[in-house]
Structure 1
Amino acid sequence: MKIKTLIKPFTFSAFAIAILVSCTDLEIEETDSIISEDTGDFTFTPLADPASSLSDLYNKVGGDFQGQDNIYALNEVTTDELLVPTRGTDWGDNGVWRQLHTHTWNAAHIFILNSWNTLNQNVFRATEIIESNPSTAVVAEAKFLRAYNMFFVMDFFGSVPFREVTEGPDVDPRVLSRMEAYDFVMQDLTEALADLPTTGPDLTKTVKATKQAAQFLLAKLYLNASVYNGSGTFDPTDMDAVIAAVDAITASGFAVESDKNYFEIFEPTEDTETIFFLRSEVAARIWNSLHYNQNAPDNTGGGWNGFSTLAEFYDKFEGDPNSNYAGDGQEERRGIVWDNTNANDLNLGIGYGFLIGQQYNSDGTMLKNRQGGPLAFTKEIPALVGNTEVQGIRLLKYHPYDPIPDTGDDSPLIESFRRHQIFFRYADAYLMKAEALFRKGQTAEALAMVNDLRSKRDNTPALTSLDETSLLDERARELFIETWRRNDLVRFDQFTSPWSLKEVTGDPNKNLFPIPEIALLSNPNLTQNPGY
């Protein structure tokens, strides 16, 4: 699978290239504002329909976070959770995936550039909406979306360029320091809270910004404050704020799911955990990992045979270290591989979670690889290049056989049954509170919370103690491939630690990505991050 096959045809159009250059400097698009033809003169004209622009921004943000590259890759493929080994010539792509895994990226890396452009463009579009005199409800949602996107700019790059809508393209955007960006995001969320709607678990409401979604992002801010302010010390006041934000979410009716199995949470149906989701396609979360010969009724072409996990990450889970078949003692979150001993079971075919060993078809027959040999995924990946098409454990959280929800022919809830990607989940908030208690020295209370969550996941025994390693591992087991692994590793000071096939370790400068080269050239107010 080549990257070029995953990019839509219009990516390299003249229009897209123009946007790419302008967004790097956060210039204002003529489609959104009026730019005077007189030299140096600029007039911002408010958007004609801010509510419609807000809907467009929701769709754009959903699209920006749904892919397997760019933002997702920076959050996941840079960690011990995911890697994309080259198999033959497949997934070589000039080394862009390998550079992420080995932390050998530079300021010209395409995913870093694309993420910078996309996130900053979303911040500016939200600002345009806010400054166009919309209703208080639209302002609140736009401030949430601005905070959401600026959070990731701050998290990835540290400094954040910001352009006022009243500034023309001749003005270089000012640059917020990391702490200034932190305060900006905090202010947006705090101001938005008053006018955002309150919700409990509800598919009709959690697809938009709510008080509970804002409280979730506030909890993330406070929990990571020691990273953003550079102190490296978890302030008890910040930890109290994390606890208060999570308690507010809990009071709204969200809870760790106890009536469904773990993987049912990711179906586009009601559950008690989904705080915020977008109508983002989850196809990349499914097919980028599955083999070419694994398919579903609406996708007979099979998977893309790319994304895998490390053996050491798989080993964080309970169960047989070399098998994930039914009855091998694995905890629920590690998933299951259905084999032909379950011939009378209707759940045959593609398994759930971590797929290792022989894979089977829906009729119970053994699947084969393209050479006619057994389609049996190996635990170990010997190298980042030169692999066979069956090496590496595959991950599957969203499933191609998820049921289509019965919402009626004219239901606006889910336009496509796979356009339901969860971004904020209550189990994450719950573990954030447990971590905050742990950081305050209340280890017994934190352990009780962690074990309460584990008790909701079948065949997941209680922990007898809790330290930083076991707490980080618990977040890995619960939240794998949900876009938070890099953030967690940085906070636990483990992002630069060694793991399999990682060539460069111990460089703290890698905790930030470089400012893209083209951004530095277009905005002299920007300064490159140390080490690049």
Structure 2
Amino acid sequence: MKRFELKFLSLAFLAVFGLYSCTNLEIEETDSFISEGFQGLEDPQSALDQLYNQVGGQLGDQANTYALTSVTTDEQLVPTRGADWGDNGRWRKLHQHEWGFEETDILTPFDQWNSNQLLASQILDERSAAPSGVGAQAHFLRAWSMYMILDLYGQVPYRDTQLSSSTVPEVLIGADAVNFILADLDEAISGLPAISAGSGEQNRAGKAAARLLKAKVLLNRSVFESQLAEPRSFNAADMQEVVNLVDAIAADGYALQSGYFEIFEPSPDTETIWFIDSGNTGNRIFNGLHYRSTGLGGGGWNGFSTLAEFYDLFEGDPNQNRYASDLESAQIDGQEERRGGVPNIGVPFTNRPGSSDDNGGFEDGSNVGNGFLVGQQYDLDGTPLEDRQGNPLEFSRGFVDGNGAPSLINNSERTGIRVMKYNPRNGGGFANHVMVMRYADAHLMKAEAILRGASGGDATALVNELRTIRNATPLGSVSESDMLDERGRELYCEWWRRNDMIRFGQYTRQWEFKSDTETGNAARNLFPIPLPQLLANPTLVQNPGYEQKHSV
């Protein structure tokens, strides 16, 4: 396969660099450049495998795209504990909405997703002569990559691989970008296989994945086409098509499944539509656990946590979240299933697939709870754990400094409720099975579309169908606010919180530790276009609200 190489468009750009001498504007190898004399790929199947590996690595990361979709919301934050997780304020700035132009978590995803869509375009170039199945997969992954760029940055540079390498890529925005993505998805739906639910083959996209993404695009069309304008308006035909697409997904056997945390295990189920198997779950497991939470993987990294206000969206005692004993016992604090619980002892070893027995008859990692971990944590044998200073390892609701004042710096090892959707009990924490798409998301999108005017059922009944399966109390009615909350409860830490909050007009609201000066700032609905990309592609225009922030 031919490689695309860095080439400056003209010497004029070199002069421009001098104007930004106070900023690192090194141009990386990105979508703006393509190898001279590209004549197609020799092995499009290998290129597709490479593309899936790239996407898997990017989605398995705890930084970059995941950080932008989760840490910038009310569902995740990363306090500084002593010297740990300081990183020059990297994580705090995201949560507080005080990011600038040099944040690696903003620069890197722009390069990654644009690089992905270029490789997909190269696979789709007629000179590559890709088999139809490979082409359908490339259409899907190009649509996915362009969707991510549009969602995060509002502008999608697109290079026609038939044009000269010196041609500046055109930039798709609004309706043009949406229509391009939808056209790719129609090609994908036509050419992808109908992968049956529960087959275990969902590590590659099938028709259901393309349909879910198309429904996602239609549900968010008003956001993408209006950019920063609020309130949103929703086209009736789009909402009806969302319902039709979800019904088509269900026709392939996809359905809600009981046993919430079992959905995130590697075993097949009826909910999983697309998972990645080239990125391990370790980042999702260890980034929030304390150093002494488990012996697996050398212990946790003690960073990522959630806000008490997000935790309080769930039913149950606000101050404790316990199982009666081990992970397989009943919940005893009135919590709904999705909130999980903390066990006070490990699970006895039973030779269950994916488990191991290296700890005195208990399954490795089974002392770590599910869902939201708050209060005292325990070792496998039931011994109360301590932090490294000898204090009881009790995860608290709040984030305070050494003086007890609310703060994101100078926190102890114990502050913050931790999140655990992928339990280390399953595959030792490194099972290559990170969820990207599942049916519950589609089910709730259908309910939302009906709430916004489509026919095909009752929104409240659909939400309550899900809540009943999750052992949560049915709702008497469902408002927009209820729908956003339900999506938060069902899909926490699965990519969608930022996207949902923007669509419902809640991303700019206040939450704990968000900067007062940034509350209500609609410019934060998009991230800034990285400055090197503005230099490399003059067709890009800096997003509103950031234009004056890059001066020397």
Q: TM-score, normalised by structure 2?
A: 0.85
Give the residue type in structure 1 aligned to 2:477. S
The structural deviation recorded for 1:23 is 3.3
Q: Where in structure 2 are the equivalents of 1:60-459 lying within 5 Å?
A: 60-131=54-125, 132-230=128-226, 232-258=232-258, 261-279=259-277, 280-296=279-295, 298-299=296-297, 301-326=298-323, 327-339=332-344, 349-381=367-399, 382-402=406-426, 418-440=431-453, 445-458=458-471
Q: In the alignment, is the contact (CA less than 8 A) between 2:336 and 2:470 conserved in 1?
A: yes
**Candidates 461, 469, 473, aligned match of 2:473:** 461
CA distance in structure 2 between the partners assigned to 1:202 and 1:127 by the alignment = 31
Give the residue type in structure 2 aligned to 1:176. L
String of CA shifts for 1:150-174, please: whole Å, max 9, x gaps. 0000001111111122334422211
CA distance in structure 2 between the partners assigned to 1:499 and 1:96 by the alignment = 18
**Candidates 27, 30, 37, aligned match of 2:33:** 27
Give the residue type in structure 2 aligned to 1:486. R
CA distance in structure 1 between the partners assigned to 2:98 and 2:92 by the alignment = 8
3-state SS of the aligned residue for 2:60? Answer: coil
CA distance in structure 2 between the partners assigned to 1:64 and 1:341 by the alignment = 33
Aligned residues: 489
CA distance in structure 2 between the partners assigned to 1:264 and 1:61 by the alignment = 24
The structural deviation recorded for 1:343 is 10
Distance 1:443 1:361, change over 3 A: farther
Give the residue type in structure 1 aligned to 2:487. R
**RMSD over equivalenced CA pairs, Å:** 2.2
Distance 1:340 1:135, change over 3 A: closer
Indicate the percent of aligned positions where both proteins have the same amino acid.
48
CA distance in structure 1 between the partners assigned to 2:189 and 2:503 by the alignment = 26
Give the residue type in structure 2 aligned to 1:431. L
The structural deviation recorded for 1:370 is 0.5
The structural deviation recorded for 1:16 is 11
Give the residue type in structure 1 aligned to 2:469. K
Distance 1:430 1:257, change over 3 A: same
The structural deviation recorded for 1:443 is 11
Distance 1:155 1:362, change over 3 A: same
CA distance in structure 2 between the partners assigned to 1:236 and 1:16 by the alignment = 45
Q: TM-score, normalised by structure 1?
A: 0.88
Q: In the alignment, is the contact (CA less than 8 A) between 1:24 and 1:518 conserved in 2?
A: no
String of CA shifts for 1:368-413, please: whole Å, max 9, x gaps. 1010110100011121111111000000001111158xxxxxxxxx
3-state SS of the aligned residue for 1:56? Answer: helix
Q: In the alignment, is the contact (CA less than 8 A) between 1:268 and 1:417 conserved in 2?
A: no
Give the residue type in structure 2 aligned to 1:27. F
CA distance in structure 1 between the partners assigned to 2:196 and 2:367 by the alignment = 35
Distance 1:55 1:358, change over 3 A: same
The structural deviation recorded for 1:469 is 1.1
String of CA shifts for 1:125-146, please: whole Å, max 9, x gaps. 0001111111111111001000
Instruction: State the partner residue of 1:9.
Output: none
String of CA shifts for 1:280-299, please: whole Å, max 9, x gaps. 21110000010011124x42
**Candidates 508, 513, 522, aligned match of 1:508:** 522
Q: In the alignment, is the contact (CA less than 8 A) between 1:27 and 1:168 conserved in 2?
A: no
CA distance in structure 2 between the partners assigned to 1:65 and 1:351 by the alignment = 24
Alignment pair present for 1:523 and 2:519: no
Alignment pair present for 1:483 and 2:495: yes
3-state SS of the aligned residue for 1:419? Answer: coil
Instruction: State the partner residue of 2:51.
Output: 57
CA distance in structure 1 between the partners assigned to 2:7 and 2:90 by the alignment = 21
3-state SS of the aligned residue for 1:194? Answer: helix
Q: In the alignment, is the contact (CA less than 8 A) between 1:160 and 1:178 conserved in 2?
A: no
Q: Which runs of 4+ in 1 moved over 4 A?
A: 15-18, 340-348, 441-444
**Candidates 487, 506, 510, aligned match of 1:494:** 506
Q: In the alignment, is the contact (CA less than 8 A) between 1:25 and 1:522 conserved in 2?
A: no
**Which one is further off, 490-499 or 462-471?**
462-471
**Which one is further off, 337-346 or 351-360?**
337-346
Runs of at least 5 residues in structure 1 that lack an aligned partner in the other structure: 1-14, 36-42, 405-415
The structural deviation recorded for 1:202 is 3.6
String of CA shifts for 1:251-309, please: whole Å, max 9, x gaps. 11000003xx110100000111000111121110000010011124x42x100000000
3-state SS of the aligned residue for 2:433? Answer: strand
